[in-house]
Chains A and B, each alone.
Chain A
């Protein structure tokens, strides 16, 4: 028997290729370059998530892509234990720009997450699709 205590495994989760459409294509093109984009409305000035061509706050069609450092805090999370590929964490990150982003948390043990914890974005490869944003403790 080993004397060393086993370190809890860090969570990862295989992620399928995302649906990409003409509206979201620029996001995924940037993701392939490791850049995280969010959408901001020019007239009302508000950033939103998930990205839309039409602003969900004022309905303006004048929305622009903006590069984000992808930093924020965990709003909530839940670790799913009933999974064939091991436990994985889903949760919302409140970006410093304001919007909350649904995501997976990676590179952390199942008991290593807390609400309010600072996290930042990284990109994870998918099966045959563009890489997708996931978050890990900062």
Chain B
């Protein structure tokens, strides 16, 4: 069953805090939920579907539903695919709505990684170590060096350069200067990126995203509920998801992400192509993450990502494909080390015409929000949604 046109994103809220020493994690979840409900013009008693991932404390959905006093929930989903979870949730919420399981779905993310060092929720573990733990966790793998391996291999296979990767940060910084909440607001140059401290070869400090507290929430509703609300309607047109991993060690391929599968699924369902997109929210945990995903989603040929992002092509008003106009994870925020939900939020702003005037894409009627979660260098989830403004 296709979800095309079966659900609408009617509420979106991004927590303004980037440092939250005086708030608890459940409190942040609830503040985001309240913000998204107010944005949609709904109340918590309208919520009959709840979606969260491994960042939710305690028993996840059960703990948060009780904390927030949601008394009408009849559909729950705590699918955990790292930072891509919340993009997966948009697709799952649309499916649940299309199947009549709920009418008003609330999706939340929140966390305080700046207060709890290494505290980004991983989730889904159930207490038992991962099956690969004995053979992998011992080697000091982190997001930095596992994504570094991807960049290293991409450079080896396609001649991608550090200067090309740097353009992605430059574009994000051009957008972040207009975002009063952005963690980093200074515009940077290619030279500043490639001359910043090496973290894990070939990724420099400025190739990495920020780490912030905060969160976000989304409200996905049935067409019937959407029509009853006095808000611009953002229609869910297509969704795709895919896992990817080394698969027994015989299929290791660090130059491709799961977007090679999740992207075409979402585009096919929506009946559109990458060339139709007016705006792209692309998960930017690192510069290489963006470059690989743009290739895998079909915005350019494989291996041509470096050329595609160069010379400001991702800068709104300058290049062909405006991306992450809030500054993204590279400059704006990366709450609880999971960026998926903020990708959807900025896409909603663009489609509503509510992005900052300096970065708003004229007549933005079709957008993509895409993300990976887990680790691009080992196991990751990939999720894509195509969203359309309904006139």
A17 to B129, CA, bound (A): 13
Whether B18 sits at the interface, judged by CB under 8 Å, is: no
Contact status of A80 and B145, CB under 8 A, knowing A19-B137, A24-B134, A88-B140:
yes
Residues of A within 8 A of B305 (CB): none
B-contact bits for A10-26, CB 8 A (1 contact / 0 none):
00010111111100100
A76-B200 in contact (CB<8A) = no
Whether A75 sits at the interface, judged by CB under 8 Å, is: yes
> Which 7 A-B residue pairs are closest in the complex by CB-CB distance?
A99-B249, A78-B148, A48-B248, A56-B248, A50-B135, A49-B249, A100-B252
Q: Interface on A for B, CB 8 Å cutoff?
A: 13, 15-21, 24, 28, 46, 48-52, 55-57, 75-83, 88, 90-92, 94-95, 98-104, 115, 126, 132
A79 to B150, CA, bound (A): 12
A77-B131 in contact (CB<8A) = no
A91 to B139, CA, bound (A): 9
B138-A126 in contact (CB<8A) = yes
Whether B9 sits at the interface, judged by CB under 8 Å, is: no
Contact status of A104 and B139, CB under 8 A, knowing A24-B134, A115-B152:
yes
A132-B200 in contact (CB<8A) = no
Closest to B378 in A: A102
A15-B129 in contact (CB<8A) = no
A-contact bits for B145-188, CB 8 A (1 contact / 0 none):
11011111100100000000000000000000000000000000
B140-A80 in contact (CB<8A) = yes
B139-A75 in contact (CB<8A) = no
The residue that A90 contacts in the complex, of B131, B145, B199, with Cβ under 8 A, is B145
The residue that B156 contacts in the complex, of A21, A52, A115, A126, with Cβ under 8 A, is A115
- B49 CB to closest chain A CB (Å) equals 35
Contact status of A78 and B152, CB under 8 A, knowing A19-B129, A88-B140, A132-B138:
yes
Closest to B155 in A: A115
- B213 CB to closest chain A CB (Å) equals 21
Closest to B204 in A: A81
A77 to B139, CA, bound (A): 12
The residue that A15 contacts in the complex, of B135, B139, B199, with Cβ under 8 A, is B139
Whether B1 sits at the interface, judged by CB under 8 Å, is: no
B200-A51 in contact (CB<8A) = no
B134-A18 in contact (CB<8A) = yes
Residues of B within 8 A of A19 (CB): 129, 133-134, 137
The residue that A103 contacts in the complex, of B139, B156, B198, B199, with Cβ under 8 A, is B139
Residues of B within 8 A of A90 (CB): 139-141, 145-146, 149
Residues of A within 8 A of B133 (CB): 18-19
A76 to B138, CA, bound (A): 18
A94 to B149, CA, bound (A): 14
Contact status of A79 and B201, CB under 8 A, knowing A18-B134, A48-B250, A115-B152:
yes
Q: Which of B345-391 contact A (CB under 8 A)?
A: 378
A19 to B202, CA, bound (A): 30
The residue that A102 contacts in the complex, of B135, B142, B153, B200, with Cβ under 8 A, is B135
Closest to B144 in A: A80
A46 to B248, CA, bound (A): 10
- B126 CB to closest chain A CB (Å) equals 15
A102 to B142, CA, bound (A): 13
Residues of B within 8 A of A88 (CB): 140
A20 to B153, CA, bound (A): 31
Residues of B within 8 A of A17 (CB): 138
Closest to A23 in B: B131
Whether B317 sits at the interface, judged by CB under 8 Å, is: no
A51-B201 in contact (CB<8A) = no
The residue that A48 contacts in the complex, of B140, B142, B249, B254, with Cβ under 8 A, is B249
Beyond A49-B249, A75-B252, 16 additional pairs, beta carbon < 8 A: A16-B138, A18-B134, A18-B137, A19-B134, A19-B137, A21-B134, A48-B250, A55-B248, A78-B151, A78-B202, A78-B203, A94-B252, A95-B249, A101-B249, A102-B139, A132-B138
A87 to B277, CA, bound (A): 42
B132-A75 in contact (CB<8A) = no
- B207 CB to closest chain A CB (Å) equals 12
B139-A76 in contact (CB<8A) = no
The residue that A92 contacts in the complex, of B135, B140, B149, B250, with Cβ under 8 A, is B149
Q: Which of B197-221 contact A (CB under 8 A)?
A: 197-203
B200-A49 in contact (CB<8A) = no
A100-B140 in contact (CB<8A) = no
Q: Which of B99-156 contact A (CB under 8 A)?
A: 129, 131-142, 144-146, 148-153, 156
A80-B200 in contact (CB<8A) = yes
Whether B41 sits at the interface, judged by CB under 8 Å, is: no
Closest to A101 in B: B249
B152-A50 in contact (CB<8A) = no
Residues of B within 8 A of A91 (CB): 149
24 contacts across the A-B interface (CB closer than 8 A): A15-B138, A16-B138, A18-B133, A24-B135, A48-B248, A49-B248, A49-B249, A55-B248, A76-B149, A76-B153, A78-B202, A78-B203, A80-B199, A81-B200, A82-B144, A88-B140, A90-B149, A92-B252, A92-B254, A98-B249, A101-B249, A102-B136, A102-B141, A102-B246
